[in-house]
Each structure stands twice: as C-alpha cells, then as structure tokens.
Amino acid sequence: MSNVLIVGELKNGELKKISKEITSAGRKIADALGGKVTALLIGSGVEKFAGDLGAVGADSIVTVNAGDFNAETWANLVAGVIQDKKPSVVLVPHTSQGKDYSPRVAVKVGAGIVADAVGLSVDGGKVVAKKPIYSGKAYGNFKITSDIAIFTVRPNSQEVVQKAGAGAAEAASPSAGDAKVKIVSSDLSGGNKVQLAEASIIVSGGRGIKGPENWPILQGLADVLGAALGASRAAVDAGWIAHSHQVGQTGKTVSPNCYIACGISGAIQHLAGMGSSKYIVAINKDGDAPIFKVATYGVVGDLFEVVPALTDEFKKVLG
C-alpha cells in the first residue's frame, strides 16, 4: 500500500485551483496503488477549505497553523508531516512557492524529486512522471527509486475530478524549526489581473503590437475572456511591459486551455513556455511565422483588425 500526500496552496486567502488538481491526481495514484490521500494545508484559517479537498478525493486533511510563507519554515512543516504520515508519494504545486521549498523537503526526508510534471501515471508500483525536456521540444518519463518520491506538478496540467474521499480533518503542530531567512517585505505591484501560471486563457502579445501604447487592445480581449495578459521576451526586452508578464524559457511556463498569441513569431524560447497549451490560436500577418507550426488555429491577418473584431464578437456571445 502506498499513501499519497498532497500539499495545497493558497493565494490571498483563497484556495488555488492547483490544490484541487493535485488532490484529484493523488486520488488516481492512491487508487492504483491501494493507498489513501492526505491533503496538507498550511496557513491561517485553512480549516475552511477541508471540504473542498475532501470533495475531490482527500481521505484526510491535515491543517497546520502558520504565518506568512517562508520556504525554510514550510520545508520543516512539510517534512514533519511526511515523517508522521509516511507517504510514498508527495505532490506539490509547481509554483514559485512549491519550487522554493520542495527541494529542501527532499533533502530533509531523503526523497528523490522530479520537477514540473505535466502527466502522472503508475507503472510497476511506481509513479511515472511525464515532463518537458530540451526546452519543451520533447517529453521524458521519469521514475523515482527512493522510498519517498516528490513531484512538483505544473498548474492546469491535471483534471479536477469530483470524487469524494472521507474528508476527515485534523490539526497538526509539526516543528517549524528556526528559520535563518526572514522576509522583510514583498512588492506585488507588478502582478497581473489574472495570474499567468493558473490562467485557463492567456492573451499574449509580441513585437507585432509595435509599442506599449497598444497593450489596451489585447487587455480588452483578455478582460472579456477573463484571461491573463502575457508577452514574449521581445516585448519585455523592448520595455513595453513588465517581466512578470513574460512567457517563455526565461519567463513563466504556462499550460492554459487556450493560448492566444498576437503578433508573436514563435521563437523556440517562447514555445518552450507555452507549447503544452491545450489549444493555441495564432494571429500574425506573416503566414510563414513559426508560431503557425504549433497553432491549433491560425489567423493570417493584422492583429489591429483581428483582435478588436474578436473582442466585439466575444462581447456579443458572452454578454
């Protein structure tokens, strides 16, 4: 029997969608291995989210009261719960937080770790993680041979399935340890209206938008669709938009249901950050642009005509 521990994550006091995604993924793994799923929530007032994770497969929800995020503290808390619950598999969100504390946890508990998994399956009693390699040009399948296997899972890569677990909640108080690093301030002024990593739809612009004054055209479409606003490195390097919007190998890696690329040629560095999107819509007046090779749908035309027309049509359809 192999039990699974998932570590949930919150943003501005709300449960992030990735928490439900990895709970559903953990449920499938536990069913295949004959184990149970424990969900761990760290923070203040997290007890209220126990039902949300129980509804998607958690047999038990462990809550730990803690202050603001600190990678050292979180690593100690997660490691303490692992030592208590003794799971064979641990799933962590592949977010800025998850990427910060998960390697520390792996060292503390002697676990192997695979980062940025986009697919999870079971073969021969072991979890197999599928992840992009070579800047997204290929995928590799990885098994971990250690007794404890940790996987960070890319947001929007797993389906949320309603399958109720027992959902029993319990409070725990593992040692937070003595953190040597302290966060003295946070600047969130550069954030997006909708977070890129978890967005279901992203409207992204490149050099073809011609200048920073034209971002409102793309923002209008994004607002209608409830989408996040992204950008290519060329647009960021030109100083047209903040780096927090950059999608690509040197920016954020995203897996939305729909990625709308406007005026983006499709350099390999950009494709590495969005190539796993379920649907890719490319709008470019250059019919030979590389982006069309990966696009699900392509529009050869002037984005300054196509995007406003799309915005108007979506306003009609979506009310």
Is 146 among the annotated ligand-binding positions? no
Is 269 among the annotated ligand-binding positions? yes
Give every strand in the sheet of 60-65, ordered side by side.
112-117, 149-153, 89-93, 4-7, 37-43, 60-65, 168-171
Is 284 among the annotated ligand-binding positions? yes
Contact 200, 159 (CB under 8 A): no
Is 250 among the annotated ligand-binding positions? yes
Find the Cα–Cα–Cα–Cα dihedral 24, 26, 31, 33, rounded to 10°.
160
Place of tokens 């197999």: 128
Is 152 among the annotated ligand-binding positions? no
Is 270 among the annotated ligand-binding positions? yes
Is 61 among the annotated ligand-binding positions? no
Report the residue count for the chain: 319
Is 263 among the annotated ligand-binding positions? yes
Is 247 among the annotated ligand-binding positions? yes
Cα maximum dimension of the chain: 59
Give residues with Cβ within 8 angstroms of 196, minimum separation 6: 202, 228, 230, 244, 245, 247, 252, 254
Is 245 among the annotated ligand-binding positions? no
Is 232 among the annotated ligand-binding positions? yes
Is 60 among the annotated ligand-binding positions? no
- List residues forming the annotated binding site: 207, 232-233, 246-250, 263-270, 284
- List residues forming the annotated binding site for FAD: 207, 232-233, 246-250, 263-270, 284
